[in-house]
Amino acid sequence: MKSGSATWGMLVVAGALLALVPGCRDDEQNRPLHLEKGVYQGAEDAPLTAEEQRALQERGNRQRF
Protein backbone atom coordinates (compact mmCIF):
# COMPACT_ATOMS: atom_id res chain seq x y z
CA MET A 1 0.00 0.00 0.00
CA LYS A 2 3.02 2.28 0.34
CA SER A 3 3.45 2.63 -3.42
CA GLY A 4 -0.12 3.94 -3.69
CA SER A 5 0.46 6.68 -1.11
CA ALA A 6 3.79 7.58 -2.74
CA THR A 7 2.01 7.91 -6.07
CA TRP A 8 -0.61 10.17 -4.53
CA GLY A 9 2.12 12.23 -2.88
CA MET A 10 3.91 12.71 -6.18
CA LEU A 11 0.64 13.66 -7.87
CA VAL A 12 -0.04 16.27 -5.19
CA VAL A 13 3.46 17.75 -5.58
CA ALA A 14 3.14 17.78 -9.38
CA GLY A 15 -0.28 19.45 -9.11
CA ALA A 16 1.10 22.10 -6.76
CA LEU A 17 3.96 22.85 -9.15
CA LEU A 18 1.57 23.12 -12.09
CA ALA A 19 -0.58 25.51 -10.09
CA LEU A 20 2.39 27.74 -9.18
CA VAL A 21 4.13 27.93 -12.57
CA PRO A 22 1.53 30.19 -14.27
CA GLY A 23 2.05 32.73 -11.45
CA CYS A 24 5.62 33.37 -12.63
CA ARG A 25 4.90 35.70 -15.54
CA ASP A 26 7.75 37.38 -17.38
CA ASP A 27 6.32 40.87 -16.85
CA GLU A 28 6.49 40.37 -13.08
CA GLN A 29 10.16 39.41 -13.05
CA ASN A 30 12.87 41.88 -11.97
CA ARG A 31 10.39 44.30 -10.42
CA PRO A 32 11.40 46.17 -7.26
CA LEU A 33 10.33 44.42 -4.09
CA HIS A 34 11.39 47.16 -1.68
CA LEU A 35 9.68 50.43 -2.47
CA GLU A 36 10.65 53.82 -1.11
CA LYS A 37 7.72 55.21 0.83
CA GLY A 38 6.19 58.33 -0.68
CA VAL A 39 8.17 58.16 -3.94
CA TYR A 40 6.48 57.17 -7.21
CA GLN A 41 8.85 54.92 -9.11
CA GLY A 42 6.77 54.37 -12.25
CA ALA A 43 7.16 55.92 -15.64
CA GLU A 44 6.48 59.64 -16.01
CA ASP A 45 3.12 60.70 -17.38
CA ALA A 46 3.06 62.34 -20.78
CA PRO A 47 2.26 66.06 -20.57
CA LEU A 48 -1.26 67.10 -21.56
CA THR A 49 -1.77 68.81 -24.87
CA ALA A 50 -3.47 72.21 -25.00
CA GLU A 51 -6.67 70.51 -26.24
CA GLU A 52 -6.61 68.00 -23.37
CA GLN A 53 -6.04 70.79 -20.84
CA ARG A 54 -8.97 72.77 -22.26
CA ALA A 55 -11.25 69.71 -22.17
CA LEU A 56 -10.23 68.96 -18.59
CA GLN A 57 -10.85 72.56 -17.55
CA GLU A 58 -14.32 72.47 -19.14
CA ARG A 59 -15.14 69.24 -17.31
CA GLY A 60 -14.11 70.83 -14.04
CA ASN A 61 -16.21 73.91 -14.75
CA ARG A 62 -19.30 71.77 -15.42
CA GLN A 63 -18.89 70.03 -12.06
CA ARG A 64 -18.94 73.22 -9.99
CA PHE A 65 -22.04 73.99 -7.95
Mean pLDDT confidence for 37-57: 92
Report how far apart, in Å, the C-alpha atoms of 51 and of each of 20, 31, 54 are. 47, 35, 5
Q: Name the domain count of the chain.
A: 1
* Residue 19 lies in domain: 2-63
Share of the chain above pLDDT 90, in %: 29
Q: Find the mean pLDDT for residues 25-48.
A: 81
pLDDT reported for residue 22:
64
Coil, strand, or helix at residue 57?
helix
Query: What pTM value is reported for the model?
Result: 0.38
